Amino acid sequence: MEDCAVSFWIYIGVMSILVGGAMKKFLAFHIGAMPSMMAWLGATLLVERLCALCMPAVLARLILCVSCWLYFTWATPKPLLPVEGKAVFITGCDSGFGNATAKRLDAMGFEVFATVLNLEGEGAKHLRRVCSSRLTLLQVDITQPQQVQQALLDTKAKLGMRDLWGLVNNAGLCVNIGDVELCLMSNYRGCMEVNYFGTLNVTRAFLPLLRQAKGRIVTISSPSGENPFPCLAAYGASKAALNLLISTLRHELKPWGVKVSTILPSAFKTGQSSNTEYWEKQYKNQIQNLPTSLLEEYGEEYLLETKELFHSYAKKANEDLSPVINTIVDALLSPQPQVRYYAGPGVTLMYFICSYLPFSISDRFLQKVFVQKKVMPRVLRKQPGLSLINNNNSIKENMNNSNNNNDSFTKSID
């Protein structure tokens, strides 16, 4: 009887450890962690079955000891690599993730090479003001190969015989949002030029230095590059191309000892995402350049609702960039960095839904979490049986309902 009582309390302890470990992995999981999480759950089920058979107290104690050892061995993070002597090149430091990363890495003791589009801009001035003399600002448009090559020469001159440990590909662009048919071809080309070709320019240029150092490549991408977010086709397509490029590069650089990581953030206020004037300008440019027949079929109110919905989501995006900055630091300094990091609230749930649930569920989820449109295209509204929503009050009411249902799953715009 006493043995059964001891077994019961040890059973409670073992189950707490196993279930706690599984929940910890779930709350911070990325898709690559699913096998280990399933192993935790399998072990939990096994222990539960053994305990149901009223195992002897000695066996229960043994399982408790093994569980504790496994939990603390696997759950305890390994110490990060030392920062001393490490140099990192970061693109897109005018604002957002790039600016915050440059400040964090400089404060940690890295030698930082930060690229900006404007050396006299507010972002560059802020970095000069708050960072140490180790930080070097470089004016670089990553779509211009000659500027990238000049940045490489400047970096090599400053480093001398020292190595370049890391490259953080952060610079990115989203030009307007809208249905595939309504986006201008210049939007598709603009996103691809910066997000794909620009990142490719920088990565190829700095690869010899990174191979020599057996260093790290960290790239900021987007969930929209893997999931079909409505109205983000131009941006998402460029990030999808980038994701495949970086994944291929990861395989090719294994023999060289270079570790490659991709970070996919959730919704954050970065760059132009909260710049109302910028998006108003993009919207007017879209209206002015769409074919008249297409604009008549969809209706200007349809495009207006898309723009307003995006504005409302951008305003509610997370201002605390630390989840992404922390993953960048881990990717640069962890002895075994993750292949992919899913940073920010809600993004892990989104990936679980889109990766493991039926399309009927994941499609509805994506439609609701980004632009839950209520206004039908003008031509469709004229068809019988379809609701007509054509006044500003209705649009605002539907936007408010959408905002209440969706808080943190929209994609950050770099």
pLDDT of residue 397: 45
pLDDT of residue 57: 56
Q: What is the pLDDT along the chain (414 residues), one digit of tens a residue?
A: 455 555 555 556 656 665 665 555 544 444 444 555 555 556 655 655 555 555 555 565 566 566 666 555 555 567 889 999 999 999 999 999 999 999 999 999 999 999 999 999 999 999 999 999 999 999 999 999 999 999 999 999 999 999 999 999 999 988 778 899 999 999 999 999 999 999 999 999 999 999 999 999 999 999 889 888 888 899 999 999 999 999 999 999 999 999 999 999 987 877 666 677 777 888 888 888 999 999 899 988 988 888 888 877 777 777 889 999 999 999 999 999 999 999 887 777 777 777 777 888 888 887 777 767 888 888 888 765 554 444 444 444 444 444 444 443 333 444
C-alpha R_g of the chain: 25
Burial 199-216 (b: 16+ CB within 10 A, else e): bbbbbebbbebbeebebb
CA 358 to centroid of chain Cα atoms: 23
Active site residues: 235
Please report, to the nearest 10 degrees, the dihedral formed by the alpha carbons of residues 15, 17, 21, 23 taken in order: 50
pLDDT of residue 158: 96
Distance CA 287, CA 333 (A): 47
Locus of tokens 């409505």: 230
- Give the residue from 361, 165, 160 showing the smallest Cα distance to 258: 165
Q: Name residue 178's beta-bridge partners.
A: 232
